[in-house]
Amino acid sequence: MKTLIETYKDKDLFDKLPVSIIITSEEGRIISVNTTACKMFGYDSKEEFLKLKITDLYCNIEDRKEIVESIKTGKKIKEVCVKRKDNCTFWVQETFIAQTTDSGEVHFINVVKDITLHRQKEEIEASLINIQRIAKIGNWEWDIARNVFWSDEIYRIFGLTPKQFGATYEAFLNLVHPDDREFVKELVNKAIHENMPYSIDHRIVLPDGTVRIVHEEAEVIFDSNHEAVQMNGTVQDITERKQIEEQFRKLSHAIEQSTLSILITDTKGNIEYANPILFDVTGYTREEAIGKTPKIFSSGKTPPETYRSLWKTILSGKDWHGEFLNKKKDGELFWEHATISLLKNDKGIITNFVAYKEDITKIKKLEEQFRQAQKMEAVGQLTGGIAHDFNNILTGIILNSELLKMKMEKDNPLRAHAEQTVEQALKAANLIQGLLAFSRKQALNLQFTNLRDVIASTKKLLLRIMREDIELKISIPEKDLAIMADGVQIEQVLINLATNARDAMPNGGTLTIEATDIEMDNGFINTHDFGKGGRYALITVTDTGTGMDENTQKKIFEPFFTTKEVGKGTGLGLAMVYGLIKQHEGYIDLYSEPGKGTAFKIYLPIKELKYEDLKLAEQIIPKRGSETILIAEDNEIIRKSTISILENYGYKTIEAVDGDSAVEKFVKNKDRIQLVILDVIMPKKNGKDVYNAIVNILPTVKVLFMSGYTGDTLHIKEITGKGLNIISKPFTDKDILKKIREILDK
């Protein structure tokens, strides 16, 4: 056999060798190379290659030093990184063989093998193992006729070692969770017999009993006879992923089903996500909102300071809490309470903004109603403080004026002045009663009332007070509308609204009053945000006047708010209207536009009542009497004027100035007294105490209480609760005479 040296001398054979040969001197100088080596290292000629030293071929200095030592010792180096002429690197395996020439020189023959692909394969395999470990993915091969090959990661996934597991199909099935075993087995059979690759999730049970979840994919290789010979697949432990997915699913459901609107935007404010409730509240669809900014919800009515505070707060890293007055797609305004915060990534960079919003429109309305109630309470307290004395004064004025009328002939020109005095006093009384009623400081005189008759009566009054440049259109309903109401106060409500409408039409216009009945159902209540199911009488008062802007509409029912000039309005009219309607368990709503006019809508509950002759009380001439009446009243003017009126109508009277006097005179005259009239509030004994005393003496005694202010004392509730008789001050001669006859004739 030829030595390499002899082969080297045979130039033709040397160049034809399939391996790269580099021959160096003992010092590392390249003496000869074959053509294969030139090609491997990228040199065009041997002459160019021979100018190099062996160490010039190596990438690393340390490798060069090691090579020199290897040349001296003949040590074999398996792998080293070398470089081509163009400085591209690759891996080779080198073997150094020392031989002595005929002249006695020592030459080193370097046999070089390119192992780059092998090296890359090893690196890929190492990377694959590492990737499988990180991703918890293992691969397997199943030679269907013989056994199963598992990668190292699969053993780790299943908590086993190769010694513990025989890597057979049956052993694998035993590791599958019992509830999933048949399912997995069925898919494997379909893959083998029907060529159906599968991708599934299933559970496995580790030796310690721990249950894990794996994702498995596999397909079958068939031979030329279409016989299954091998199945290849992967297994990945996805337990943690499944747990995260479950947490995410729960979180997602919580967000999707939340009663709060949740909005996520990018850093530029573009909406990336919104949950269903937001679309329900605003009326926008997902397609209309995603990609837009929250400005689509802006009403333009939230103060700029709110937005400045928002950005200042969240950019400082804190959560912002505040309120917006926003607008729905259909233009409806609504209030939201919002909490807005920012989201950061792992590097602390802001990536998103998140808003949690609650529709507080109903709360805002309740707050407004509460404030309105507080204002009404304030008016009620003010009015209640003067009502008793004021009504006593008015009673004296009215009764004395009535006495003057009685003393005058019908054609006496002074009689008209007395009538005007009574009329003005009654207006003052209505004002006080209205204030007390709207603030709920005085009970209304509720009785079954036909709204047709109230509107008809109101029409007569309005025809006298409306200007000629105002067209009055009052539509009296054809059918009866029975309501439980104080007819006088409802009439006052309509007159109040009508006079306001008149003042809102300085250049003339049209005033329309009409009534009908409606059914308040859930649809109505949801649309109007007020109401209670049932039938209602609807009164609509419409004018073609100046109308009101939105800000005025918000304040229109507030006590003392007026748009009229100083001295031309108290600001109590609409507040009284509001309070009276509420006390009738009704509702009032308005619609107005500047320059177009105003429409007030009043809803009063209809009472189911069959009647034919339900009418307003007619003014009749009081009947005379001859009975004896004890009158107990500490106010001398009221006492004397009442006595005079009763005596003018034939009654005999006994007067008492206080509670003790009333009891004393009743005891002395009980056998001839047919009726006792008691003021509720008197010195020494109040009306209730006097009643308790005399009823013990004579249980059948008939009593009529007089009250200057029915909300002034708890005694009234007890009196009315027992079904006793009461008349409110101020009253006219006809009022008290009629009441007396009703009691005596029972």
pLDDT in tens, 248-275: 888 888 888 888 999 999 999 999 999 9
pLDDT at 237: 87
More confidently predicted of 572 and 233: 233
pLDDT in tens, 651-710: 999 999 999 999 999 999 999 999 999 998 899 998 889 999 999 999 999 999 988 765
More confidently predicted of 445 and 310: 310
Judged against a pLDDT cut of 60, whether residue 131 lies above it is answered with no
Judged against a pLDDT cut of 70, whether residue 618 lies above it is answered with no
pLDDT in tens, 208-229: 999 999 998 888 888 777 788 8
Q: Which residues contact 319 (CB under 8 A, 6 or more apart)?
A: 313, 339, 340, 341
Q: Where are the domains of the chain?
A: 4-114, 121-243, 258-359, 360-426+621-746, 443-605
CATH number of 360-426+621-746: 3.40.50.2300
CATH number of 4-114: 3.30.450.20
Judged against a pLDDT cut of 70, whether residue 76 lies above it is answered with no
| 22: β partners | 33, 110
Can you tell me which residue has the tokens 């163009």?
86
Peptide bond into 730 cis (omega under 30): yes
Label the pairing between strands 137-143 and 148-150: antiparallel
pLDDT at 566: 39
Mean pLDDT of 574-586: 82
Which amino acid is located at 4 in the chain?
Answer: L
Judged against a pLDDT cut of 60, whether residue 571 lies above it is answered with no
Mean pLDDT of 270-294: 94
pLDDT at 569: 43
Could you tell me the two tokens for 21?
């040969």
Judged against a pLDDT cut of 90, whether residue 286 lies above it is answered with yes
pLDDT at 236: 85
If you average pLDDT over each of 67-81, 284-298, 572-586, 604-618, which comes out highest? 284-298
For a pLDDT cut of 70, what percent of the chain falls above it?
A: 82
pLDDT at 302: 92
Could you tell me the two tokens for 127?
């990377």
Could you tell me the two tokens for 116?
């780059």
| Cα→Cα distances 274→284, 332, 343, Å | 11, 20, 16
Judged against a pLDDT cut of 80, whether residue 542 lies above it is answered with yes
Model confidence at 611, in pLDDT bands (50, 70, 90)?
very low
Sign of CA dihedral 195, 196, 197, 201: negative
Mean pLDDT of 384-391: 70
SS3 state of residue 657: coil
Could you tell me the two tokens for 120?
């890359």
Could you tell me the two tokens for 441?
């400081």
Helix 361-407, helix 636-648: angle, nearest 10: 60
DSSP string, 336-375: EEEEEEEEE-TTS-EEEEEEEEEE-HHHHHHHHHHHHHHH
pLDDT at 213: 93
The rounded mean pLDDT for the chain is 82
Count of Cβ atoms closer than 10 Å to residue 180 Cβ = 17
4-114 with 121-243: one CATH topology? Answer: yes
Mean pLDDT of 362-375: 78
SS3 state of residue 1: coil
Judged against a pLDDT cut of 50, whether residue 297 lies above it is answered with yes
Superfamily of domain 121-243: PAS domain (3.30.450.20)
pLDDT at 671: 92
Q: Which long-range contacts (CB under 8 A, 24 or more apart) does 527-530 make?
A: 528/589, 529/361, 529/362, 529/365, 530/587, 530/589
* Domain 258-359 in this protein, CATH class: alpha beta
Q: Which of 373, 366, 367 is closest to 559 using CA atoms?
A: 373
User: Which CATH architecture is the domain 443-605 placed in?
Assistant: 2-Layer Sandwich (3.30)
pLDDT at 337: 95
pLDDT at 219: 86
Judged against a pLDDT cut of 70, whether residue 22 lies above it is answered with yes
Q: For 506-515, 551-560, 563-572, which range has the lowest pLDDT when averaged over its residues? A: 563-572
More confidently predicted of 395 and 102: 395
pLDDT at 439: 53
Is the separation of the CB atoms in 697 and 667 below 8 Å? yes
pLDDT at 299: 93
Query: Edge-to-edge strand order for the sheet containing 20-24?
Result: 30-33, 20-24, 106-114, 89-100, 77-83
Judged against a pLDDT cut of 90, whether residue 628 lies above it is answered with yes
Could you tell me the two tokens for 356?
């949690």
pLDDT at 730: 84
Mean pLDDT of 501-529: 88
Count of Cβ atoms closer than 10 Å to residue 117 Cβ = 10
| 263: β partners | 274, 355
| Ranges of H-type helices in 584-674 | 636-648, 659-669
Model confidence at 471, in pLDDT bands (50, 70, 90)?
very high
Is the separation of the CB atoms in 686 and 693 below 8 Å? no
Judged against a pLDDT cut of 80, whether residue 141 lies above it is answered with no
pLDDT at 437: 57
pLDDT in tens, 189-214: 898 888 889 898 999 999 999 999 99
pLDDT in tens, 709-724: 655 444 555 665 566 8
